[in-house]
Chain A
Amino acid sequence: MALLEIRNVTRRFGDFVAVDGVSLSIGAGEFFTLLGPSGCGKTTLLRMIAGFDAPDGGAILLDGQDMTGVPPEARDIHTVFQSYALFPHMTVADNIAFPLRMAKCPPGEIPARVEEALDDVSLPGMGKRFPNELSGGQRQRVAVARALINRPKLLLLDEPLAALDAKLRERMQLELITLQKEIGITFVYVTHDQEEALALSHRIAVMNKGKVEQLDEPAKIYGFPKNRFVADFIGECNLFDCTVAAHDAGGLDLAIEGLGKVRSAGAENVVQGAKGTLALRPEKVAIGRELNAADCVNRFHGKVFDYLYTGDVTLYIVEVEGGQRVEVMLPNNAVGRSSKFFEPGDAVQIGWRDDAGHYLHD
């Protein structure tokens, strides 16, 4: 049985439907992420799980028990808030001990458990400090330690890394993964950062306009987005409007304006003349002065229109002869070359395999 069951939950604010009939089932020990742009309903859903807000319809069950009418303080669920919400008048140790005191833990046990919790988040001996004496990363760790100390069934994390700089964020991501694995508590993580979601999660629910657009493992979400929204939201993606010109057992022939005929892997239930979208990740497109790769069945000549140099890779925008612009990603790791391979105006050829793109029904 799932640890957390969200059954057809709806929440309206006036005419605005923040969460629209969402059903999710989250297993024990899972690292689950709610991913979506701001206003997609992910935070509202999180607040309803925590108990700060009540659904207008549907039910939330924790361990098979209906949580309707159960106040936040009585739910075996703790939250790491975006602002951390550390109590400024208490030391780190008192902050971490707070849930233990509320749960009437024998006072004799508290210091040892607090010290253990500080060790868990690599802050040994920091108990006597006050929150305003800590760095952003340290505060984040204290917030996690405080929320985990009396081992709730479920930990909710509301964009906990949003306030940290990129370098620290990466380190904290690794720490969160390790911690979650070690203690085995179910994490429900809310973020709008798709890279973070891909890096951390066992499963991701991509949300948009109050609905779950796709629920899958990170690799499936990235590799096989279910629709245009998911393809566009997760990572860089070329999205071409297309019409199915022909289909056979081996795949599809797609007609794309400004590009021409493109061969793509097959999809289910495709009919000739159907309109859809071809989603093509820039890193799956090859680029060269002249391509000799035989497996690139889709090949087009064009000119470099512009590029974006980002250190590890360069994103080229290539305008093909038909006029369509295609984003192509090239790693900057070729030995003995300058970091920039092509300049705007250079004549190039681009190409991709038939299974590189992903056809989406409209």
Chain B
Amino acid sequence: MNARAQKWLVSGPPLVYLLFFFAIPTLIMVVASFRFPGDYDPLAPIFGTGNPDEVAGLTLESYQRFFADPIYLELFLKSFLYATATTLLCLLLAYPLALMIARSPKRYRDILVLLVILPFWSNFLIRVYAWMIILGEQSVFAKGFNGFLGLFGLDPMPLLFTPLAVLIGLVYVHLPFMVLPLYANLEKHDPALLDAAQDLGAPAWQRFWRITFPLSLPGVYAGAALVFIPALGIFAIPDLLGGTDGILIGNLIKQQFLEARDWPFGGVLSMVLTAAAIGFAGIAAWFARRQRV
């Protein structure tokens, strides 16, 4: 077998998979976003039967609707802010953890990495329900927290169904996706570089700031992309922890498909979200490529 055939044999199956389960559905949604919503079906037909009462064909109506009402862009902005905050908090929490794992003795590292991915062994929804209990009014945690506020004469504050609960949930769910790429990067750093920096007069924080951190930027960008992009479209967390006004763009998209049965508008929202995600992934990749590591 020649090298060319071998290459296709190896890359063929994933290519076919992505074609069927990513490219074609995406294409269907692109087309759907230009169609009319149907009366009974979610989509009206593209080619009508000629009946003048029938709605058929392609339209920009849904796009016009999206840009006509600022509430949709505001919801995008809100989702964007939540995703940004989630990414930054994940970075702040994950960096020290990843560094600690990368610098621990080799025989412990695998166990520590295993502990990071341990939550994946139980169902995502069950873990979010667990947070509902933890943040709920009657939980020991909420009572302790409000008791603590009481010490300063502050009124008790609800935790569940607040923006804070959404943020806690988002950070919790995405944290491993930041830890793993950071760890993978930090683990490869040559310890001789830190020795050299120290030898040449750099105290501990200079060694971190001038050597470790810049060299870890590809890991930071990879982690940021892995957290930011899913956080932008997530709907389960705001659904469960966010209460009535806690919805994000993901919830709206889900509503369009499942409740309003307005696929064209859902398609428009999905297109905008996909475009934004590709944009951010592109920016992250561009930053990562500028690093010479």
Binding site for B on A (CB under 8 A): 50-52, 71-73, 77-79, 81, 83, 85-89, 98-99, 102-103, 130, 132, 146-147, 150
Residue of chain B at shortest CB distance from A103: B201
Q: Give 25 pairs: A residue, B residue, CB < 8 Å, sorted on A.
A: A71-B198, A72-B199, A73-B199, A78-B199, A78-B200, A79-B195, A81-B192, A81-B196, A85-B190, A85-B193, A85-B195, A85-B196, A86-B196, A87-B196, A87-B197, A87-B211, A88-B292, A89-B291, A98-B200, A99-B200, A99-B201, A102-B201, A130-B292, A132-B292, A150-B201
Expressed in whole angstroms, the minimum distance between the Cβ of A133 and any Cβ of chain B is: 9
Contact, CB under 8 Å: B293 / A102: no
A77 nearest CB neighbor, chain B only: B199
| Complex: A132 Cα to B195 Cα, angstroms | 20
The interface size of chain B toward A, counting residues with CB under 8 Å, comes to: 20
Told that A79-B199, A87-B211, A89-B293 touch, could you supply 19 new A-B pairs with CB distance under 8 A? A51-B199, A71-B198, A72-B195, A72-B198, A73-B200, A73-B202, A77-B199, A79-B196, A81-B196, A85-B195, A87-B193, A87-B196, A87-B197, A88-B292, A89-B214, A89-B291, A89-B292, A146-B200, A150-B201
Q: In whole angstroms, what is the CA distance A214 to B190 when docked?
A: 35
Complex CA distance for A150 and B199, rounded to whole angstroms: 12
Q: Which of B127-154 contact A (CB under 8 A)?
A: none
* Chain A residues, Cβ within 8 Å of B193: 85, 87-88
Residues of A within 8 A of B211 (CB): 87
CB distance from A52 to the nearest CB of B (A): 6
Q: A73-B203, A83-B190, A102-B201 in contact; A89/B196 too (CB < 8 A)?
A: no
Cα distance, A71 to B195, chains bound together (Å): 11
A50 to B196, CA, bound (A): 10
Q: Complex formed: what's the CA distance from A99 to B202 in Å?
A: 8
Q: Once bound together, how far apart are the Cα atoms of A77 and B210, in whole Å?
A: 21
A132 to B203 alpha-carbon distance, docked (Å): 26
In Å, the complex CA distance between A357 and B122 comes to 79
Q: How far is the CB of B241 from chain A (nearest CB, A)?
A: 40
**Could you tell me if B192 and A147 are in contact, using CB atoms closer than 8 angstroms?**
no
The answer to whether B215 and A89 touch across the interface, beta carbons within 8 angstroms, is yes
A residues in contact with B200, CB < 8 Å: 73, 78, 98-99, 102, 146-147
Complex Cα distance, B198 from A245, in Å, reads: 59
A334 to B292, CA, bound (A): 56
